[in-house]
Chain A
Amino acid sequence: MSTILVYLESQGNGLKRSSLEAITAAVDTGYTVIGLLADGKEENVQAAAEYGLTKCLLAKHPLLAEKSSPVAASAIAQAARYSQANYVMASANSNGKEIAPRVAVKLQAGYIPDAISLESSAGSIIAKRPAYAGKAIVSVQISTQVGVITLRPNVFTAKKRSASLTVEEFSPEITTEDIRARVTGVSKNEGRLDVSEADIIVSGGRGLKAAENYNLIESLAQVLGGAVGSSRAVVDAGWRPHSEQIGQTGKTVSPSLYFACGISGAIQHLAGMSTSKIIVAINKDKDAPIFKVADYGIVGDILEVLPKLTEALRRTLNK
C-alpha cells in the first residue's frame, strides 16, 4: 500500500489552512494518507477528519517545544520511516521550505519544492512546479524510493469530506544535540496580512505617482480583506518595504484574486503573480502588457478609478 505522510502545523485550536490544503492534495492522489502533528495537541488534529484524514501521528517529546527546524526535520524523518511512507508532503510556506530539504537529505529522498499539481501515475507521483518564477512549468518525478514534496500554498483548495480519524502517539528520539539552531523570537507584522498568506492581494505600481497615494491601495485591500503588494519599482523608490514586493526578485504568489493597479506588467512582475486565479488590471495605458494576463481590465487613471471602485465594492459587500 502506497503511503503519504503529511506534515501538519497547528494554528490556534486547529490546523493552518495550508495543512488542510496539503491533506486534500495528498488524499486526491489516492494514496493512504497519514498526518503528523509535532506542534500541537490532539484537539488540533480533530479538524482534519472533516478533510478526509483517517490517521494521524501525534509526535510527543519535550524538546519539540524548542522551535528548531533540525528537530522538526528529525521527527518527520523518523515518522516517515515508522509509517513506511513513500512520500512526505508539507506546505511550501517558510517553515516547510526550511524543514523539507533537511528531511529529504535524512531520507536520501528526491525533493520537489513548490508543487502546483500532483498526478498519480503507475505507482509514482508526477508533480508540476513553476521554474523561472513561473515563466515555465516543469513536470518532475522523483527517482528515489522515497520522495519529499512541498506544496505551494493557496493552489490546492482544501475540500471537506468526512472520515473517521484515529490518532496515534508517536515518540521520536530527539537529543539536545539536534537543537543547534532555535527560534528565540518572532515578530509578526501586526494587523498586516502578508502577501504570501493572502487570498486577495491589491498591488500598486508606479502609476500611483507618489508614496502617499498608496492609501488608495490600502483602502481597497481593506474593503476586500486582502493584503497590500507592490511592484519592484515602488519598492526600489523606497515607497514600500521589500516584504511586499511581488515578482521574480520578490515573492511569488497565487491568490484567488489579484489586483494590479498602475502596474505596467514587466516580465519580472508577471512571473510573480501569473498563477493567480483571477487577475484584475487597472492601467491608463491600454497597451500595457498587464492586460494580456488579466481576466478583467479597466483602462483609466488609477487615481480616479480606485476611490470609485473601492466605494462600489464597499456597497456590494455591505461594508
Chain B
Amino acid sequence: MAEQSAHDTAAATPMPKGIKDPSVFQLALRNKSVFWGSILLALIVVIAAIGPFLTLDPVALNPMNRLKAPGEAGLFGTDQLGRDVFSRVVNGARVSLIVGLAVAAVAVAIGLFLGLIAGYIRVMDALIMRVMDGLMSIPAILLAIAMISLSGATLATVVIAIVIPEIPRVVRLVRSVVLTVREEPYVEAAISVGTPVPLIMSRHVLPNTIAPLIVQATYICGSAMLTEAILGFLGAGIPPEIPSWGNIMSEGRTFFQLTPWIIFFPGICLAVTVLAVNIVGDGLRDTLDPRIARNMR
C-alpha cells in the first residue's frame, strides 16, 4: 500500500512531451519484465474469464464429502463444506481480479479528479489535502474492517473500503505533477495567452500524469488483492457465497494443519498474480520514467 507512495518522488518528475508518442508503450512491451509479466497476467485473465464456465459449481455443498485430499475428490480436493477447491480457486480468480482492477480504476479516477483540483485551484488545495492527510493517517486495514463490518459485506463495500485509503496517495501524486507542470515555461506561456483551464488540463497536465498513474495503478491493483485476502482472514471480507482467494483462505485457515491445500492453492495463485502485476508495474516504471530508466541501462 505504501509502496506506490514511495515512488511519488520519482514518478512526480514531469515527462517531457512525447508521452503521447505511441512508441513508448511498444517500448514498454520490449522491456523483458513487462513482457513476461504481461504474458503471465494474460494467462490468469483468460483463466478467470473462461474457467468458471468449465468448472463445477463452486458453491455446491456436499457435506458428506468434506475435507478430501487433492486427487481424492477433484483436482485440489474439497473444503470443509465439501465444495470443490479447484472450482473455487478458478472462480476466485475472477473475483480477486475484479477487486484489484476495480480498486485501481476507482482510486485512480477519484484521485486524479481531486488531485487536479487540489493542484490547480489554490482555495481547494488546503481543504482537499487536509482531508486526504486525515484519511491517510487512519491505518488502511482498520478503516476497511470498520467500514465493512459496519456497512455489511458485499463485493461493492469491500471495493469501496479498500479504495478509500488508496485515494490520498493518488491525489498526492497527481497534485505534485500538476504543481510541477504549472511551473514549466510552456504551460506558463499557455496560461499567459489565456488558454482555457480545461484545455491546459487536457493538453499539458493530463498527459504528464498518465505514466506515473499507470505505474501506481499496478501497485494499487496488487495490494488491493492482498488487502482483500487479509480482510477475509480478519472476517471482514467478501461474503462467503462469492468465492475469492481471500475468503477461500480465511475459511480454510482453521484446517491449516489438517488440510493445508485449502490455503495453499489460492495462496499460490494470489502470490503469482500479485507478483505478475508488480513485475509489470516495475517494468513500466523503468520504461515510462526516463530518469530511473536511465539508471537501468
Do A and B truly interact?
no
